[in-house]
Every structure is written in structure tokens, then in C-alpha cells.
Chains A and B, each alone.
Chain A
Amino acid sequence: MGKYIKFFIVGIFFGIVLVKSEAVSWYRIFEMFKFQSFHMYGIIGTAVGTGILLLLLSKKNNVKTIKGTTLNVPLKERGFTRYIIGGTIFGLGWALCGACPGPMYILLGTGAFSIIIVIIAALLGTYTYGLLKNKLPH
């Protein structure tokens, strides 16, 4: 149990940040895809900027994980088709229901229980991908 507590705390922090930044809001996603506000671009931009900096600094200073291993980011396989097609399908859904996988769970906590329908549908979508995986171009 003890080894899980740190993940629970990181999760709490993540949930608070996404609610307080309004990134879980359908309205903010709509606004982003309409290019009508800098808000979401500012969030993603500073997240990536800070992320790049943190990863560069940890590499330079040879930071180890708590397990003592080298801190590294899992590498995505090379490719194009799966990323562009899968990404586009994801984007269509993201803009339609205004929630990506993190916010889906977080919204549950804010009492927006109808989001459970989106979560169940997302599970179904994931299952369908698993079913069709070998037939799809990657």
C-alpha cells in the first residue's frame, strides 16, 4: 500500500491542476479549436517548455529515478500512419465530447456523472482497437 501513496498524491495534484486551469472544461477545448483564446495554448506550451527543461536538466545532472535507474522517457515506435490517423480520430472525439482521457476521470470527481457514458464508450473504443489492431495500417 505504501508504495502506491505517492502515485495517489501525484494524481490528486494532477486533478486539482486540471480543474483549476479549466483544462477539463468542454468550453476551453471548443475555444482552443476555434483559436479564440491563448489559454489552452499557454497551458500546453508552458507544460512542454517546462518539460523539455526538466528533462534536459535531469539528463545533464544524471538524475536517477527512486529505483536508482537512469531516468528515461519510453520511446514511441517510429512510424507515420498510426500517428496521423489515430491522432485524427482522437481529435475528432476530443472536440466532440470535450474530454480527453485524463479529464474524463477528473470530471467524475467534480460530480459530472454523465461523463461515465463517455468513459464507457472510450473503453469500448479501446476494446474495438484491440480487436482490429492487426487489420489496421500502422
Chain B
Amino acid sequence: MEYILQPWPWYVSGPCIAIVMFLLLYFGRTFGMSSNLRTLCAIGGAGKRVAFFKFDWKSQRWNLVVVLGAIFGGFIAHYFLSNPIHMDLSEATVKDLTALGFNDIGQSLLPPELFRWNSVFSLKGILILIIGGFLVGFGTRYAGGCTSGHAITGLSSLQLPSLIAVIGFFIGGLIMIHLIYPILF
């Protein structure tokens, strides 16, 4: 049980993610979490105005069920399968974040500086979450997939478009962390 309660090492977690991908393919579907965003837009009636959302979203219900499961899995893992969080981040990361003004680094999954409600309701706080979320939602559909669809499924099936997309993910991520963060914080 202690092994389960501790954070799982990468060499256990990575293969588990591949099993998730494989099971969904075995069920005749595919592993793509961002497609659910499009489905949710369609359910909300976006198909009436924009052709991109005019599709049979009911055929995508299985994927929404995966999402429901994932939310429930997050609940189980966090409340029943975890010791109090004390992340084993690298010293360099802790040092860099301290320099940027972060506190209690790695004591929770998300930094209170960005996700605690009083941070969220500052102008900077809300803009970070809204702009970040918007770029993820826009970019993933533009690129035709996210980490699950491109980085895991696409790379596992040796598809060149996915490699290009993953290179894009890193170009964007590196620009944000190395060039934009020093201005933001």
C-alpha cells in the first residue's frame, strides 16, 4: 500500500498511460482528450452558428464518459491514494520559483499563487488562467490534437504530423517559461 500512496515513478506511470491509449484503441476508439472540448461546444449549441461544431456529438459520448471517469479517478487518487503532498521537485526548480516570488513550492499540486481563489480574483491571476486556457483550447484544435492525441497516440504510431505538433508544443512552452515568465513574475 505504501508504494501506491507514494508518488509513482515515471517508469511506472509512462507505460500505464500507454495502456490507456491501447485500451481505447482496442475498444475501437482513440485516445484524445481535447476532442471533448469540441464535443462540449457542440452540445452547447455551437453547431447552429459554426459548421465546425455541426456533427453527431452523440457518437462522442464514450469520450465524455472517459472524462467523467478521469475526474472521478483524480478524486480517488487525491483523497484516498495519496500521502500529504510534498513533491520531490529538483532543487534548481525550487530555487528558480523562489526567485520568481513563489512560496510553499510543491506542497500542493497547483501553486496557490495562481490557483487559490484570492489569487484567481486578481486581475493578473484571472488573466493568466483565461489566456492560458484559451490558448490551450485554440491551439489544440488548430493542431488537431493535444498531449494525448499527438504526443502519446501520434508519436506511438510514428506519425510525422504529430512530431511537428509536439515540436510546436515545446517551442511554445519554452518561449513562455524562458521569455515571458520573467516579465510576468
Contact = CB atoms under 8 A, between A and B. Distances in A.
B67 to A, nearest CB: 5
Contacts, number: 506
Describe B's contact surface by its main secondary structure. Answer: helix
A17 B16 contact: yes
B69 A8 contact: yes
B59 interface: no
Contacts of A90: 135-136, 139-140, 142-143, 146, 165, 168-169, 172
Interface residue range, chain B: 35 or more
Given A10-B20, A109-B75, A117-B129, A86 B139 contact: yes
B127 to A, nearest CB: 10
Contacts of B115: 26, 112, 114-115
A73 B17 contact: no
A54 B19 CA distance: 8
A67 B140 CA distance: 29
Interface residues of A, number: 115
Contacts of B89: 27-28, 31, 37
7 contacts: A18-B70, A84-B167, A85-B143, A88-B171, A91-B173, A114-B120, A118-B136
Interface of A: 3-4, 6-34, 36-52, 54-55, 58, 63, 65-67, 69, 71-80, 82-102, 104-112, 114-115, 117-131, 133, 136
Given A104-B136, A125-B141, 9 more contacts: A9-B69, A18-B73, A22-B109, A24-B109, A27-B93, A106-B70, A106-B74, A121-B129, A127-B137
